[in-house]
Amino acid sequence: MTIRPLVILPDKTLRLPSEPVTKFDGALKTLVADMFETMYDAPGIGLAAVQIGVLQRVITIDTAKKEEDPKEPLVIINPEIIWSSHETSTYEEGCLSIPEYYEEVERPKSIRFTYQDIKGEKYEVLADGLLATCVQHEIDHLNGKLFIDHISKLKRDRCVKKFTKQAQRGTAPLSGANA
């Protein structure tokens, strides 16, 4: 397992759509193992493959709160949201690709989604609370979308400007540096 460099805003890779996984092979296993290693190291509760520069529809999640809690690793491949609740909930979200930036985001409180596991087996689950928010945040990544797309344009522009300046100063990885 390897900790891979994270792709950081404003790297344009984050805006690209990811491709469905068709081969459930050893390379996929390695990718998933590396994603968990990278996510736990950061630390984060969710990671999409695009955040380590791999444009495949692969997500790792672990919403176990405290460090002493048992790990609850979840691998979600080729997810599709098939139902969203009208009821919404608001969480303060952050993103490993937008380090140390947090804003409140409102999303459907519950979702039903299908996905495949690492062997390619299909599942359908109902999620709510933090897991529902996290899955929606990560599926956004697979579609080139970021949580800052859900906040006001004024705040988003300010955030992008800040990270663009940081990248120019070299205090954050430059665009393409993680490729």
Closest of 149, 145, 135, 15 to residue 80, by C-alpha: 135
Give min distance, CB of 43 to Ni ion, in A: 13
Taking the least distance from each CB to Ni ion, the nearer of 51 and 116 is 51
Taking CB atoms, the residue at the shortest distance from Ni ion is 95
Which residues inside 6-25 make contact with Ni ion, applying CB under 5 A? none
- Asked if 6 and 42 touch (Cβ cutoff 8 Å), the reply is yes
Taking the least distance from each CB to Ni ion, the nearer of 120 and 145 is 145
Give min distance, CB of 46 to Ni ion, in A: 7
- Asked if 42 and 24 touch (Cβ cutoff 8 Å), the reply is no
Taking the least distance from each CB to Ni ion, the nearer of 22 and 43 is 43
Taking CB under 5 A as the rule, does residue 95 contact Ni ion?
yes
Query: How many Å apart are CA 132 and CA 109, to the nearest integer?
Result: 7
Q: Which residues are catalytic?
A: 138
Give min distance, CB of 50 to Ni ion, in A: 9
Query: Which residue in this structure is represented by tokens 């590396």?
Result: 34
Query: How many Å apart are CA 125 and CA 96, to the nearest integer?
Result: 25
- Sites of contact with Ni ion (CB under 5 A): 95
